[in-house]
A and B are shown apart, each in its own frame.
Chain A
Amino acid sequence: MDLKPLFEPRTMAVFGVSASNYRHPANEIFNKNLLRYPIGVYGVNPRGGTINGQPIHRNISEVPEEIDMAVIAVRADVVPEVITECIEAKVRSAVIVSGGFAEVGRGDLQERIVAIAKEAGFPFVGPNCLGIYVPSHVDTFFLPGERMVTPVVGNVSFVSQSGGILVDQMIKFANEGVGLAKAISIGNKALLGELDLLDYFAADPATKVIAFYIEGFGGNEGRQFVLRGGKCGKPVVVLKSGKTEAGSKAVSSHTASLAGDYASFSAVLSQYHIVEAVNELELISFCESLSAYAKPIEGRVGIVTVSGGHGAIAVDTCASRGLSVPGLPENIREDLCKNLGPNVRDIATLTNPVDLTGSGVDEDFVATMRSFCSMENIDCVLALLLPYIPGITSDLGAKLGGIARQCGKPLIAYVPNVEKYAMLIEGFTLNGSPVAHSIEGAVLMVDALRRRRP
């Protein structure tokens, strides 16, 4: 099935728009696409009328253009009929927003729409979902536009079984500066599920990282997911819920007890180098660093800071995740010492972490960065920056980012996340280096690059 009409539609028909009930979810979807997106939008409702000055068509056959995507927000029992009409009118895909299917015990109704769609080769998302959001292109979420927090355009595509989690993660993406390519909530995933979207995003040139929020797979679906995800060539990040075993299922064998559903899930993901995020901080950190750096690392970290405490916390966090912090060989130390400024040379700690002290200035960071770049046994640099130190300027991000790009080693920075330091942070991000807002978050970003390693 061709999913392109869902993610790159030129035209949309919204079923269920109401001329009298302005709060109807379909109206919100109709209005936001009409007013904000470069897409032809048509309202459909047998009762007719107008919406936002546009005529409401009584039937899909009256719509004057060919429709790429139908957004269906009508009563569940009417959905089979609407799907049939869409297929007859050569509509190319649908998002079924309506609830009232398997999630409330109406599996029969859900099976009916699946059967109709399968027979016609008609792709649909849902039911019981928010659908699709593609920045500056299309938005089927029934949420008022001004209430949504939307991330910048980027290369992470996000697939979520839950609409709420998706919208919430978009807020976090926006806060952390993680760019979004495409987002989709798949709801009951009656027809299109994680596997279809994995395949689509694996082939989508705009997507570099594929992130999932998964509650559970169908029978043997997990096996297909890891087999395909493991060799799709792009990092796949998964946040799983439902980790605790439901109820007190009697387990008769030691293996069944030790290899519970979640233990198996987690083990298999790591077997196939799919990066499992165990919580939201991991999810956001992994997405951010994998979207910046495609090349996996072994995890040998060079750390530079102006605070011994920051260095120590970073080392502890690295150690707990199996990342190493190799020491500096004598010749590197001598060179670095020569290249440091006179105020720092005698008081800096030239081990790893390199502690430039509160007297450090931009050029000292640059010198340390160059030393790390010249070391073969370091494959990633962590810069823990405290912008309140007088010698650090807002140019530092651009300077270090530039060197990192030249030497081909990923650079990850920690900068406290306050408005005041935004210019320093942007200096890093605009030069392709992700910035974490906690020391732990920065180490998680390093870890993501290692765990992706085949």
Chain B
Amino acid sequence: MIDARSEIRRIVEAARADGWVLEPDAKRIFTLAGFDVPRFTLAGTALEAIRFAGEIGYPVVAKVVSPRILHKSDVGGVAVGIADAGGLEAAFLRFQGLDGFLGMLVEEMVSGVELILGAKTDFQFGPMILLGMGGTGVEIYKDVALRMAPLSEKDALAMIEGLKAHRLLTGYRGAERVDLKLLTATLLAFASLVSELGGGIESIDINPLVCSSRRCIVADARIILQKENGPGSA
């Protein structure tokens, strides 16, 4: 764990120049911290992408990796449900034309309820944890619960129960229910990771965190770093 911790620190420090941690690196951080992350690779060529997809099996998700693209969906940098090598190659060619292209992330498709798990360092209150209904509509529905870290188990449960869409997690109208114990544990583990990372973080989005009856998966993650000597580092 000490090794994992120093490796996490190393990844964060290496990202300082960009101001944020790119998705593959953010996913490495969450993997090191013990979170469930989809199997993925960062492919530099279409061939690499196709080879990896062959290993894990289709369908797969492909996403652009670029230090200049913070919101991938906004620029058409995400392709889901890719069913074959042809589709993967087409995605690669398209992403190549995007600003600052560094490679393409290929990962397994996961399914479940899309949540957002986030953190921010607040000037007045320090580290804050956010849980909400996730996906691309997150800022439209604004169905979120916010708490100051650290979190107790009671806080975590209250956050889950405080969501308007809470019933969507408990098997609404015959849908698969989310493992709430696993979600609570994920929330608590996230809050402790945030405390461990400390004031160097401006904000973190895990969006979506895909939860089902079996898993709670960090399907996408972005860590934005604080500018040196920023507020809240006190």
Interface residues of A (CB under 8 A from B): 216-223, 226, 252-259, 261, 263-265, 267-268, 271-272
Contacts and interface: CB of A to CB of B under 8 A. Distances in A.
A256 B126 contact: no
Contacts of A254: 116, 118, 138-139, 205, 207
Which residue, A259, A263, A271, has most C-beta atoms of chain B within 10 A? A259
What 6 pairs across the A-B complex have the smallest Cβ distances?
Answer: A255-B118, A222-B124, A267-B146, A253-B203, A217-B124, A256-B203
B103 interface: no
Nearest to A222: B124
B68 to A, nearest CB: 13
Given A267-B146, A271-B155, A255 B124 contact: no
B122 A252 contact: no
A255 B120 contact: yes
19 contacts: A220-B126, A223-B124, A223-B125, A223-B126, A252-B20, A252-B203, A253-B202, A253-B203, A253-B204, A255-B119, A259-B122, A264-B120, A264-B128, A264-B146, A265-B124, A268-B125, A268-B148, A271-B148, A272-B148
The B interface is mostly helix, strand or loop, or mixed, namely: strand
B160 interface: no
B217 interface: no
Contacts of A264: 120, 122, 124-125, 128, 146, 148
A263 B119 CA distance: 13
Interface of B: 20, 70, 116, 118-120, 122-126, 128, 130, 132, 138-139, 142, 144-148, 155, 202-205, 207, 222, 224, 231-232, 234
B124 A259 contact: no
A271 B118 CA distance: 17
A38 B231 CA distance: 46
Given A226-B148, A252-B70, A255-B203, A220 B234 contact: yes
A259 B231 CA distance: 16
Contacts of A221: 124
Contacts of B234: 219-220
Given A255-B204, A258-B130, A265-B124, 10 more contacts: A220-B125, A223-B125, A223-B126, A252-B203, A253-B222, A254-B138, A255-B130, A256-B224, A268-B148, A271-B155
A213 B122 CA distance: 20
A55 B128 CA distance: 58
A141 to B, nearest CB: 29
Contact of A256 (B116, B120, B207): B120
